[in-house]
Amino acid sequence: NADIAMYRAKELGRANVQFYTEEMSAAALRRLHIENGLRRGLARGEFRLHYQPKYQIDDNRLLGMEALLRWNHPEEGLLLPGEFISVAEETGIIVELGEWVIRTACEQFKAWQQKGRSVPSLAINLSTRQCRNDGLVEFIGSVLARHQLEPAAIQLEFTEVSLMNQMAQIGDCLEALHGLGVKIAIDDFGSGCSSLTDLKRFPIDIIKVDSSFVHGLPGSSEDQAIVRAIVGLARGLGLDLVAEGVETPDQAAELQKLGCHQGQGHYWHRPAESEQLFRQQRA
């Protein structure tokens, strides 16, 4: 009966709408929970930095450390950036949180030097949102000066996707950062389809090959072709190249063969607290 079918469809429609809004409000609540927690967490010292080493593939020489943010949430345990960075960006809290990251990572870098640990470089992830804050360049300059850190040893990583959406707005910021003497890296390269013109126009020093292209190595001929193309691009433009997400010895060997000589990933080390990394360090 048509009437009944119509009625059912309406009921179903209503049910769907209800379901949808319930899901939405659960997400909105979650977001609010994270947002409020971020400020409190910052004030209460709930954030931590883990570090992941970067290696020269052929001789496993340590090239540097990348700081990765962790949130030791009082109710939810250890949270990864994927669960809170976007909220921090949307609310602007990333400015303050990012300053904490920069300050803490640089203090750690200095401490490694003072303990005679040979860590040649420090990489810090930044959101482009931090570039919209006028004080960023000055802040980084003052932290480097305070700890007497060599600017060229500092690498600031921006994801390709975030850069390519906003090159026009943040080009000046990148230039100013570069003017401090620090290096600029494009993270997750290949996932965002940047224009080659942007690579030429902006002061980029380092390309990090997205882990999705490392994943299929050594077997996938598509991934081989993509990595080979990125290697050619980096060589031609005089940029350093690092592969991310290297998990197996075969992937490392294939990268080396394709001309990518630096890597990072679980094959060498998972991100960990500084003490743990140095306790585990191979002799």
Residues in touch with ligand C2E (CB under 6 A): 52, 68-69, 80-82, 85, 101, 125-127, 157, 159, 187-188, 244-247, 265-266, 271
Question: 6 or 119, CB closer to ligand C2E?
Answer: 119
Pick one of ligand C2E, Mg ion, none as the site partner of residue 266 (Cβ within 5 to 8 A by kind). Answer: ligand C2E
- The least distance separating ligand C2E from the CB of residue 93, rounded to whole angstroms, comes to 11
User: Interface residues with Mg ion (CB under 5 A)?
Assistant: 125, 157, 187-188, 244, 264
- The least distance separating ligand C2E from the CB of residue 172, rounded to whole angstroms, comes to 19
Question: 223 or 244, CB closer to ligand C2E?
Answer: 244
- The least distance separating ligand C2E from the CB of residue 59, rounded to whole angstroms, comes to 20
For 67, the token pair is 């700081």
CA-to-CA separations, 46 to 38, 50, 79, 128, in angstroms, rounded: 9, 13, 10, 23
Q: Measure CA 237 to chain center.
A: 22
- The least distance separating Mg ion from the CB of residue 162, rounded to whole angstroms, comes to 11
Pick one of Mg ion, ligand C2E, none as the site partner of residue 68 (Cβ within 5 to 8 A by kind). Answer: ligand C2E
- The least distance separating ligand C2E from the CB of residue 270, rounded to whole angstroms, comes to 7
Pick one of Mg ion, ligand C2E, none as the site partner of residue 85 (Cβ within 5 to 8 A by kind). Answer: ligand C2E
Question: 37 or 88, CB closer to Mg ion?
Answer: 88
Within 10 angstroms of residue 54's Cβ, the number of other Cβ atoms is 25
